[in-house]
Structure 1
Amino acid sequence: MKSFLLLAALLSLGSWHIALAQDAHPAAGTPPAAADTSSIKSLKDFFARGSVHGHVRNYFMASWNYRQLSDNYANALGAGLAYQTAAYKGLRLGIGGLFTYRLFSSGMSERDPITGKYPRLELELFDLEDPENGTDLDRLDELYLEYRYRHLLVRGGRFSFSSPLMNPQDTRMKPYSFQGIALEAPLGKKAALHLAWFDHVSPRSAVSWFSTAESIGLYAAGVDVAGNPSAYRHQTRSRGVAVAGLQSKLLKGLEADVWNYWIENIANTTYGRSQWPLHSQVSLGLEGLYQFRVGTGGNPESSLAYFPDQQQWLGGSRLAYTPGSWELSLNYLHIGRGGRFLFPREWGREQFFATLPRGRMEGLGKANLLVAKVKYTLSEHFLLELALARGWTPATEEYRFNKYGTVSYWSWVSDLRYQPANPALKGLSFRLLYIGRISPTDALAVEEMYYRTNFHNLNLITQISF
């Protein structure tokens, strides 16, 4: 198996020159400028003078798990295409879609013989709901109407949305996408207000669209506070989520953001962060989060509720030193003892100072994470990021603080990104991402290590945008 994985990786590297893609989903990037309203004389002009952008992507992933636990690999090829009309009196339409095809893989529908679980990380490239689905993986990702007046922007329909807890996170073949309405408005020259309401979502590892309530539990649900398997999947009641955000630059060099997420009948979460320079090359960042239950937490029956009766908080900090092309930072996150930090994983990925790939802190309480990061930018064409993390988590039997049975660990990340400087290859980019995690082998039974700890994960991505 391990020899075949190495061979598959080399084959994937060899196919890079024919399997092209982009680093960010079209919806997450800045679209081309629209034609001026004055040039739009007819309905034909409105559509003919629109813009098209898209991508093609090849993604190879392989994971090596602990000893007798199964190793897995997968190679996905996909593309996305998005179109926006020209703007007429501030109005424009947008539509976009994606497809994914499984070129080759280990058995995505085969459960590990020891744990009885599917290959989680590789399966996230395709369809979590149907492990056998390797071809019917298309999705209407965007369909929206937007109105822009000066710096005011209102968008309604299906589209990507970026914030600290709800975001596209396009690091697989599909991003997280949302259905609803969003508004962005300037507040003077140094602040901006964001307001949104969403009632449907399509997670990045799914083909279908779900109501916000139906989406909760699509990913692993862990256990409840009593240690029983969580039963809130298909039992959660909520009409949607309201988001409010304020981004500002208060003083010279000082930046502050505050975001609030009100999930009807489930929970309210407030997150804020600030960063300011201590010196020309030194900066300090602070962040904090507080959340409490709203309504029934999703269901009046406590055993079926997503959010238990709790009040939880977390705090983090970042000290960064940026000499020249280097950026060195020490990042810390502490999660309190009020319960678990909970936010639907199906809606994005938390963006804390200490956040690392494959390293969510959601589902934990009474936990700490310390991360040292190094970033080196040789030029606009070459970027290298390294990180070393130490996570301290509560015992796996402390169910009130440990939803997914996470154990204390050491983790490291190497992330290399390269874009050829040759103008003829503009748009082409490569990424090599490697993540490793280890824990004392006697701290957890072998069957509980599968994709949790004592594993290595390799990602080889080739992409081009147009």
Structure 2
Amino acid sequence: MRNFFVLIYMLTALLFVTNAIAQHQEIAEKPTVWKEKSNEKIDSTSILNAFKNGNFSGHFRYFFMGTNNESGLSDYFANALGGGVKFETAQFHNFQFGVSGYYIYNIGSSDFSKKDPITNLSNRYEVALFDLQNASSKGNLSRLEELYLKYNYKHSTVTLGKQLLNTSFINLQDGRMRPTEVDGIWIDFNEIKKTKINIGYLYGISPRSTMKYFRIGESIGIYPAGVNPDGTKSDYAGNLDSDGVYIIGIKNESVSNLKTLLWNQYAENLFNSALFQMDYNYPLNHNSKLLLGFQTVYQNALNEGGNIDPRKTYFQKNGSSQTFGGRLGWKTKAIEWTLNYNRITAKGRYLMPREWGRDPFYTFMPRERNEGFGDVDAVMTKIQYTNPKKTFKSHLAVGYFDLPDVKNVALNKYGLPSYWQTNADIRYEFQGLLKGFDAQLLYVHKFNVGETYDNKNYIFNKTNMSNINFILNFNF
């Protein structure tokens, strides 16, 4: 054990002496996983020159994660080390080619193949740093990430192939070693003043914590699937049929200080999700502003929701759900405070494959989600500080999530009781000799406040637990 900690110390020290955000990005932001340089417009006379004038970028990451469960239940830890490179050509007749890949090593972790002896449940958090489909693997995990052809037109782009996306429902997700990626065609249209239009057709997804791409139907059910509305075990993994996901999004900022977002995601043969959101910043003086926001999501099943057999379908036939939420806040150059609320009505479960992305709600907090639930009231407040040079950022968030009873399986897919959650997050971007490095420390604690009927299955890896994360990145 002593040699193990010496190894971790040496590896960490090596990384410090040799800047990606730790993937806890807002989903409205453009992906910055690689932090590649802005490409100068070079329309070369040959393909060779387009490659010679291209850009290389690299990303190395060390990630420690540990979970401390309630006394008597199993605890876990993991140490992951990885790195990769990306190459994108210069423009050639407005076209660009891009490719990237990544490797991950397990350099000392708990045995994820062993289940907790009391609940007979598996590890939830740490295994996601590696390959969920091969939990016992400790060797080199290699992953082809991006492989695309991009066409540039004025301020707009059309990208075909494997790529990174951040959308309301399909996004990078909060941090592990590597993000969720997609395969398809994506149009980023920016030719209308103060209006951004996105149109896409996705036919493949590589979920976070997996090593390959899957067809849309195959990608759902790789993560734990919970139970059907009648309480039977969900059996949709490998049994869903879908030709792809069709997306259209419109963001408009033509009204001063107001951002309006319309988003529709049509998962063929599965379900449709529509989002409407408005965020308004009201200037109070030259240094501060009032933040106001409203959001609503409506979902409905398509056909039989993926499979004619109710036990094997994802979205129950004729099923639907609705959510709405709001935000009130205050922001200066250094401080931002928000009070957030979200309501999922009792109309039905809010469903979005966890393999595709994290919740778009104002109340979202890393390390838990409200996907899979109906009849939910969530309140979260967060205060964030950013120093003047924007090299240091910290925030403290506290949330209360009132969920249906764990035995109300029609509205509680994963058997999660009501809970309080606190998150403390500190991030720092190094300068000078260590420029290119950034570090993040995230601490999460969840307190149970719901009835668990003396069943530890409702506690293990869900509530009465803490999760600590240390992430060190180097980008060039």
1:7-31, CA deviations, whole angstroms, 9 ceiling, x for partnerless residues? 9789756643323673257864563
Q: 1:191 to 1:28 in 2, by over 3 A?
A: farther
User: 1: distance between equivalents of 2:458 and 2:123?
Assistant: 14
AA matched with 2:336? E
Report the residue type matching 1:350 in the other structure: D
Residue of structure 2 equivalent to 1:385: 395
What's the TM-score once normalised by structure 1's chain length?
0.95
* Residues 170 and 176 in structure 1, CA contact (< 8 A), matched pair in contact too: no
User: Which residue in 2 is equivalent to 1:34?
Assistant: 39
Give, in whole Å, the separation in 2 of the partners of 1:306 and 1:167. 20
- Structure-to-structure mapping, 1:303-318, within 5 angstroms: 303-308=311-316, 309-318=318-327
Give the aligned residue type for 2:299. Answer: Q
Does residue 137 of structure 1 match 2:133?
no
2:72 and 2:155 map into 1 onto residues whose CA distance is 57
Going from structure 1 to structure 2, the CA distance change for 1:129 and 1:198 (only over 3 Å counts) comes to same
After superposition, give the CA deviation of every residue in 1:201-221 in whole Å (9 maximum; x if it has no partner): 111110121111001010010
Task: Please point out which of 346, 350, 357 is paired with 1:337.
Answer: 346
Distance 2:450 2:372 in 1: 22
User: Counterpart of 2:293?
Assistant: 285
Q: What is the match of residue 361 of structure 2?
A: 352
> 2 CA distance for matches of 1:8 and 1:228?
43
Q: 1:30 to 1:131 in 2, by over 3 A?
A: closer
Inter-CA distance 441–70: structure 2 relative to 1 (3 Å threshold): farther
Q: Please list, as runs of the form range in 1=range in 2, the aligned pairs for 1:200-239 lying within 5 A after superposition.
A: 200-239=204-243
User: What's 1:373 paired with?
Assistant: 382
* 2:57 aligned partner: 53
- 1:97 alignment counterpart: 101
* Contact preservation (8 Å) 1:372, 1:387: yes
Tell me how far 1:108 sits from its aligned partner. 1.5
Partner of 2:335: 326
Distance change (3 Å), C-alpha of 1:11 and 1:282 = farther
| 3-state SS in 1 of match to 2:217 | helix
* Equivalent residues in 2 for 1:119-130, closer than 5 Å: 119-130=123-134
Which residue in the other structure is 2:151 paired with? 147
Q: After superposition, what is the alpha-carbon deviation per residue over 1:176-228, rounded to whole angstroms, capped at 9, x for unaligned?
A: 00000000112521101100111111111101211110010100100000011
CA 1:298–1:328 in 2, change beyond 3 Å: closer, same or farther?
Answer: same
Query: Does structure 2 conserve the Cα–Cα contact (< 8 Å) formed by 1:27 and 1:160?
Result: no
Letter in 1 for 2:229: V
3-state SS, counterpart of residue 210 of structure 2: coil
Secondary structure of the 1:459 match is: strand
SS of 2:355's partner is helix
What is the TM-score normalised by the length of structure 2? 0.93
Query: Do the aligned partners of 2:245 and 2:266 also contact (CA within 8 Å) in 1?
Result: yes
Specify the code of the residue in structure 2 equivalent to 1:37.
I
Secondary structure (helix, strand or coil) at the match of 2:129 reads: coil
Q: What are the superposed Cα offsets for residues 229-254 of structure 1, whole Å, 9 maximum, x if unpaired?
A: 10111111111111110011031100
Give secondary structure in 2 for the equivalent of 1:17.
Answer: helix
Shift of 1:80: 1.8
Cα distance per residue 1:311-366 (max 9 Å; x no partner): 21000111011134111110000001111000111011122211110121100100
Compared CA separation, residues 44 and 326, structure 1 to 2 (3 A): same
Larger mean Cα displacement after TM superposition, 444-453 or 133-142: 444-453
| C-alpha distance in 2 between matches for 1:386 and 1:10 | 32
Amino acid at match of 1:132: S
2:20 alignment partner in structure 1: 22
Letter in 2 for 1:390: Y
Out of 254, 264, 267, the residue aligned to residue 263 of structure 1 is 267
Q: Is the alpha carbon distance of 1:289 and 1:34 closer, same or farther for their aligned partners in structure 2, counting shifts above 3 Å? A: same
The 1:377/1:216 distance shift into structure 2, 3 A limit, reads same
Q: What secondary structure sits across from 1:120 in the alignment? A: coil
Distance 1:441 1:342, change over 3 A: closer
| 1:278 aligned counterpart, secondary structure | strand
**Counterpart-to-counterpart distance in 2, 1:88 and 1:190:** 28
Match of 2:26 in 1: none
Partner of 2:370: 361
Give the structure 2 partner of residue 449 of structure 1.
Answer: 459
CA 1:418 to 1:34, structure 2 compared with 1: closer, same or farther past 3 Å? closer
Q: Does the 8 Å contact 1:433/1:458 carry over to 2? A: yes
| Aligned residue number for residue 255 of structure 2 | 251
In structure 1, distance between residues paired with 2:356 and 2:112: 23
Displacement after TM superposition at 1:78 (Å):
0.3
Alignment of 1:424-463 (within 5 A): 424-440=433-449, 443-444=452-453, 445-463=455-473
Q: Is the 8 A contact 1:64 1:71 kept in 2?
A: yes
Q: Deviations over 1:397-433 (max 9, x none)?
A: 1111100011111110000001123x22111111000
What is the alpha-carbon distance in structure 1 between the residues aligned to residue 268 and residue 49 of structure 2? 42
1:407 aligns with 2:417: yes
For residues 372 and 180 of structure 2, what CA distance do their matches in structure 1 show?
Answer: 19
Q: Secondary structure at the match of 1:450?
A: coil
Identity %: 32
Partner of 1:161: 165
The one-letter code sitting in structure 1 at the alignment partner of 2:301 is R
Q: CA deviation at 1:374?
A: 0.5
CA contact (8 A) 2:21 2:32 kept: no
SS of the equivalent of 1:181 reads: strand
